[in-house]
Structure 1
């Protein structure tokens, strides 16, 4: 079995378990929201800090960050073309742009660490340090700009970043790596225990948050923009990598990060900031299902082309 499929199939199974637990109401909806919050404010930051603190910044692949940020920005701009779709609303445009620029970090972390060990985990974390702020700025700007509601809260994207636990973790981890300050052993062991639960809880929550009913509501518009997101973002990342000479494991991680579906929190942010929340739910569900086929196809195409 291909190493990629061997890494992808467990991800699919864990996401499916999360969907089953939610469907059977073994964990109620409010329980899943609490789990998501726990991962967001504590577990994921612990993983980020440890991974960045131990990353070899002397040879850090900054090209990886440049490639992924560039691909995000370009696909966000391409999302503006949605305004030419017949009878599309302004909130729908905002939701499409958000879907284009967000990514499921937990799937990328799982695949990267399963295939490339600690190096893959560190590289995905570096990618997260670049892509999360970019996605937040582009998403908040797109949703608030295209909102029709007058009661939408005005949110400053920069202020949002300052308060974001993941961004704070990136800053702390980066400082530790640059200064080479060691994490005290007892604290490091505690953070390691917290970090170990991040990926599993993130994948379970992704499955629980997937709206299966959205698949039935999906129409041509949802399918089209889902394919744009799943195929064009990795294509842009690959082209950017070839232009600036990104190769080896960093290139493989760039392909993984760009190929994963959009984030499951798109629905919540779209609802809060005046986007088209039902469309956001549809995009999440369709992309999650389609990515099971598009991710291996992209990976094997890259192998056939001799890129990885």
Structure 2
């Protein structure tokens, strides 16, 4: 557990620095949007392509990807059942479903890399290749299906996935690894430099995007669903991993990815697609704070399982 705490502390510190830079307005809000755009379009895809291209494709844990996807659908189903709860408005259900399936890729990459090096980065990248498309599809349909008045143009989730730079990077990296195509030294060096910047800027942006003032607005409903998300998704991930025979480091990576808080983009998507945007912001803030405690506890608990032996 001490190793996980050691890996988590830099993530918390850099995210906190990003939050301080944002609330003090030492970096303007429009600059953060530019940084997020740069990370999304260039830096993170570069990291994903290089990591997957250099990963041993023949040992790629497809069962890990399958287990995480099943976990997302299972917790989305729990959110869908929220429609039967009294007093819960339809837009709130959409925001809950989205919170249940989204995860913070940057936190997963940072902790996975610090704990397990390149092997950890490769496994988180494979998890991202599975979880990002699944989260986008479930989130869009969940929000639109429960919106009172969806705003703007009707979303096209499949088209959005095809155009998503991270999804494209996953495909490119897997193709390179599958074809045993070695990256030229110059390209590999360029991707390494860009990838090294991805984690730092990504964590700074993640911290800047969290509105901790939302904690004051959060009530019992928010804390309940935040807890369900932070415990439920990793619990389902472990169950499906064990059922599919996923053990060792891949099992621990599954817990790391599933136990991260929801993505900072959840508020924007909820606002655009007619979800309960204030609830989305509240869930993001509460999960970000609670995850500092739940992530190491869940990681420690899974380490006690015989299936995690040898990790």
Shorter chain as normaliser: what TM range?
over 0.9
**How many angstroms does 1:165 deviate by?**
0.7
Distance in 1 separating the partners of 2:162 and 2:79: 26
- 3-state SS of paired residue (1:107): helix
**How many angstroms does 1:150 deviate by?**
4.8
**How many angstroms does 1:151 deviate by?**
3.3
Distance in 2 separating the partners of 1:224 and 1:270: 19
Question: Which deviations, in whole Å up to 9, do the C-alpha atoms of 1:158-206 show, x marking residues without a partner?
Answer: 1111111111111111111111122222121111100001111111111
Question: Which deviations, in whole Å up to 9, do the C-alpha atoms of 1:27-71 show, x marking residues without a partner?
Answer: 111111111111000000001100111111111111110110000
User: After alignment, is 141-150 or 222-231 more displaced?
Assistant: 141-150
**1:223-242 paired onto structure 2 within 5 Å:** 223-242=223-242
Q: Which residue of 2 aligns with 1:158?
A: 158
8 Å CA contact 2:48, 2:166 repeated in 1: yes
- TM-score normalised by L of structure 1: 0.98
Distance in 2 separating the partners of 1:47 and 1:133: 18
- 3-state SS of paired residue (2:158): helix
Distance in 2 separating the partners of 1:231 and 1:150: 30
Distance in 2 separating the partners of 1:147 and 1:216: 25
Q: Which residue of 2 aligns with 1:72?
A: 72
Distance in 1 separating the partners of 2:85 and 2:34: 37
Distance in 2 separating the partners of 1:150 and 1:98: 15
**How many angstroms does 1:306 deviate by?**
3.9
**How many angstroms does 1:257 deviate by?**
0.6
The yes-or-no answer on 1:285 pairing with 2:289 is: no
Distance in 2 separating the partners of 1:201 and 1:239: 33
- TM-score normalised by L of structure 2: 0.97
Distance in 2 separating the partners of 1:32 and 1:275: 24
User: After alignment, is 282-291 or 22-31 more displaced?
Assistant: 22-31
Unaligned runs of 5+ in 1: none
Distance in 2 separating the partners of 1:46 and 1:146: 36
Unaligned runs of 5+ in 2: none
The yes-or-no answer on 1:192 pairing with 2:208 is: no
Q: Which residue of 1 aligns with 2:46?
A: 46
Distance in 1 separating the partners of 2:150 and 2:196: 43
Distance in 2 separating the partners of 1:22 and 1:306: 44
Q: Which residue of 2 aligns with 1:130?
A: 130
The yes-or-no answer on 1:274 pairing with 2:291 is: no
Q: Which residue of 2 aligns with 1:179?
A: 179
Distance in 1 separating the partners of 2:307 and 2:287: 25
Q: Which residue of 1 aligns with 2:82?
A: 82
C-alpha change, 1:303 and 1:181, in structure 2 (3 Å) is: closer
C-alpha change, 1:210 and 1:151, in structure 2 (3 Å) is: closer
Runs of 4+ in structure 1 over 6 Å off: none
User: After alignment, is 1-10 or 12-21 more displaced?
Assistant: 1-10
Distance in 2 separating the partners of 1:296 and 1:221: 24
C-alpha change, 1:186 and 1:195, in structure 2 (3 Å) is: same
Distance in 2 separating the partners of 1:115 and 1:41: 26
Distance in 2 separating the partners of 1:19 and 1:281: 15
8 Å CA contact 1:152, 1:274 repeated in 2: no
Distance in 1 separating the partners of 2:163 and 2:103: 20
Question: Which deviations, in whole Å up to 9, do the C-alpha atoms of 1:200-257 show, x marking residues without a partner?
Answer: 1111111101001100000111000000000011110111111111101111101101
**How many angstroms does 1:83 deviate by?**
1.3
**How many angstroms does 1:156 deviate by?**
1.6
Q: Which residue of 1 aligns with 2:24?
A: 24
**How many angstroms does 1:307 deviate by?**
4.2
User: After alignment, is 148-157 or 60-69 more displaced?
Assistant: 148-157
Across the aligned residues of Structure 1 and Structure 2, the Cα RMSD in angstroms comes to 1.1
C-alpha change, 1:121 and 1:157, in structure 2 (3 Å) is: same
